[in-house]
Amino acid sequence: MYFGIQRLGTRWKGQIAYGRTVPYQYQFVRNKNDITKRFMVGVDAPPDYDFTFKREAWFDRLCKFLGLSVEHQVGHAEFDKLVYVVSNDGHFLDQISGNAQIIDAVVKLFALRRLDSRVSEVRCLNGRLWVTFKVGR
């Protein structure tokens, strides 16, 4: 059931657009009052990757404290405080831990705020990489 729910989340279809030469899809997710809650942008990615970078929340910290979850730490204080890594691929985790450019890029992405929106998640699954922006009030 867990994997079915995970795969369902990758099946969103957005409007197709082109950024220079790279095609991408985007979608606005609205609530019942037609107010935008999220904005998603996705591109094609290698099909072998399955990971999530998400903004670390109080619930994530609580689960770690209680021993209900274990999060991979990359050894960079700002990254480890801001980003919660969801992946059980040891090779992938080693790759990001040893790559200062990836760590710096992810920190900058999660620190980015534009027009009362911020990155809440970067997800890669089933050949798609997408970023979800939480839209403010």
CB atoms within 10 A of CB 104: 13
Output the pTM of the full model: 0.78
**What local confidence, expressed as pLDDT, does residue 3 receive?**
53
In this prediction, residue 104 has a pLDDT band, given cuts at 50, 70 and 90, of very high
Cβ proximity of 33 and 26 under 8 Å: no
**What local confidence, expressed as pLDDT, does residue 5 receive?**
54
- Which residue in 104, 129, 109 sits closest to 119, CA to CA? 109
User: pLDDT per residue over 2-34, tens digit each?
Assistant: 455 555 555 667 778 887 788 888 888 877 777
What gap in Å lies between CA 133 and CA 44, rounded to an integer?
A: 18
